Amino acid sequence: MGNFEELICWLNPQSLRLGVTRGGGAPTLTAQDVAAAIGKARGEQPLGAELLVMRSAPEMASLSAPTRRGMIRDIALREHCKRQRALFFAGESRLTEDLKLEYRTATRADVRVATQRHKGARAAAWPKLGPKWKLLLDLIDFELASHGKCAVCDGTGAVWVPRADGLRLRADCKSCLTTGVEQASGRRRAEAIKVSESAWRQSWALPHEWISGECESARRAAARIASKWLGFVDD
Ligand SMILES: [Zn+2]
């Protein structure tokens, strides 16, 4: 996603100072152009746009922390509810198949299928709502916000590698795999939400990964909207 990275580049004052241009003789972008593009992205993808600027141009952040956290919480609650519902219905249909077997209107194979489905729904379900959830959502927000940014690339997802001729080349940051977010260990995350490391792995790593991934997709979607508005051709 060259365009996305180029936009991030533009939002980063450090690379602005390096005088990066759009290349191909195209006119140079101004800070106003970028601000207008972010405005456009905010209209369609408010959370994504906020996350985009928080990491690369924090002075452009405009949502309050509670508003931002509320948006992340809504994403989490919707998915939590969906998984609980799936678990409930899988449990119901397993009981139904059990009962039908008694009356010989279901086969053992039907019961096996229903049992497998129930097992799958149980594995996919997230921990019950409670105080730990607030800690988890705070942790995710912390990691997404500039506080959790990768120290190697300063949250931009890219590093500048010096070349022999004195120029510097832009390269993907290997430390955060271009996400710009510090890749915290499971142990540190477990500590942050006050659970054991094994409880983290067993119950909390999955929702953490899913919710962070959704936020990351929103950020990328906002970047796509902004870069399209700036006239970058999608590649
Ligand atoms: Zn990095």
Q: How far is the CA of 32 from the centre of ligand 1 (A)?
A: 27
- 201 C-alpha vs ligand 1 centroid, how far in Å? 24
Q: Is the pTM of this model over 0.95?
A: no
CA of 147 from ligand 1 middle (Å) equals 13
* CA 161 / ligand 1 centre spacing (Å): 13
β-pair type (158-162, 168-172):
antiparallel
Burial class (CB in 10 A: 0-12, 13-18, 19+), 118: buried
Q: What Å distances lie between residue 118 and 39, 54, 88, CA to CA? A: 45, 41, 9
CA of 205 to the centre of ligand 1 (A): 21
Give pLDDT tens digits along the chain (235 positions).
Answer: 445 555 655 555 544 444 444 445 455 677 788 888 889 999 999 999 998 888 767 778 889 989 999 999 999 999 999 999 999 999 999 999 999 999 999 999 999 999 999 999 999 999 999 999 999 999 999 888 766 678 888 877 888 888 888 888 888 888 887 877 777 788 889 999 999 999 999 999 999 999 999 998 998 899 889 888 888 765 5
Q: How far apart are CA 107 and CA 129, in angstroms?
A: 36
Q: At what angle do helices 31-44 and 205-229 cross, to 10 degrees?
A: 130
Ligand 1 centroid, distance to 158 Cα (angstroms): 6
Ligand 1 center to 160 CA (angstroms) = 11
Report CA(56)–ligand 1 centroid distance (Å): 12
Distance, CA of 102 to CA of 187 (rounded, Å): 48
Q: What share of the chain is helix, strand, coil (3-state, %, to 5)?
A: 65, 5, 30
Residues with CB in 5 Å of ion ligand 1? 150, 152-153, 173, 175-176
pLDDT at 120: 97
The distance from CA 39 to its chain's CA centroid, rounded to whole angstroms, is: 21
Give the C-alpha separation, 29 to 27, whole Å: 6
Expressed in angstroms and rounded, the spacing between residue 123 Cα and the centre of ligand 1 is: 32
> Is-contact 152 232, C-beta < 8 A?
no
Expressed in angstroms and rounded, the spacing between residue 55 Cα and the centre of ligand 1 is 11
